[in-house]
Amino acid sequence: MSSWEWIVFAGSLSLSFVIAGIVILKAIARQNQAKTNDRLEVLHKLNFQFTTKIDAEKSEQLDSVLSIQKLQSHSKKSLASGVYRDHPVQILNLESLIFTGNAVITVRQSVGIIPLNRSVPEMIITPKNVLHGLGKLFGSKSLSFSTHPDFSRKYTVKGPKPELIEDFMTPQVLEFFEARPGIFWAVSKNTLLYFNSAKELFSFADIERFLKRGTRLASHLNKS
């Protein structure tokens, strides 16, 4: 094969890759748009108001709550507000970039935000992983509850006033967490915040399950 033929071949191959890339990106865009449309339909059925334009005042209010989980650096993509089981709820969709070596990964997740009608100790309740085990070796402390070892095995609990958290966490609340591992929970400024890490919600089943979990816990916390 001559040099010219190699150039033509290489050029054709490169063009094929470019076209394939464009086709793939368009397919992903169509898929994302379809999922977004599905979410809008679900929120409409639930009588939630959806917006992608979050004004500065509302954004600042959201940041004040998100800061407890250090989520204020995320880009807010949309906000849905409504009432579910007599609880006012907001579902905030966030997007962030995570740098892993030479790669950049886009992470999207949905965050539930529910105001509470009583004063609740500030706390962060995080599913345990390998990093928590390493943190314990270096002196990082978490509350434990001897009456509920399964809860203490699954979650780390931290807050500025541990004694208030210990008094506040009733058996009903602890059992609620035991049955729902893998969710990040936090209470700040008498507001409940929760999410599944790196999970954005689209389907009716996922969104309703998400709402049920948050409002059930809010009900427990309001009665505790």
- The Cα 145–Cα 170 span in angstroms is 10
Token pair in block for residue 155: 């979650």
- The Cα 11–Cα 14 span in angstroms is 5
Q: What confidence tens digit (pLDDT) does each residue in 127-140 have?
A: 986 444 433 433 34
Q: What confidence tens digit (pLDDT) does each residue in 15-47 have?
A: 666 666 665 655 555 666 667 778 889 999 999
**pLDDT for 50:** 94
Token pair in block for residue 106: 């886009």
Token pair in block for residue 144: 């434990």
**pLDDT for 77:** 92
**pLDDT for 214:** 96
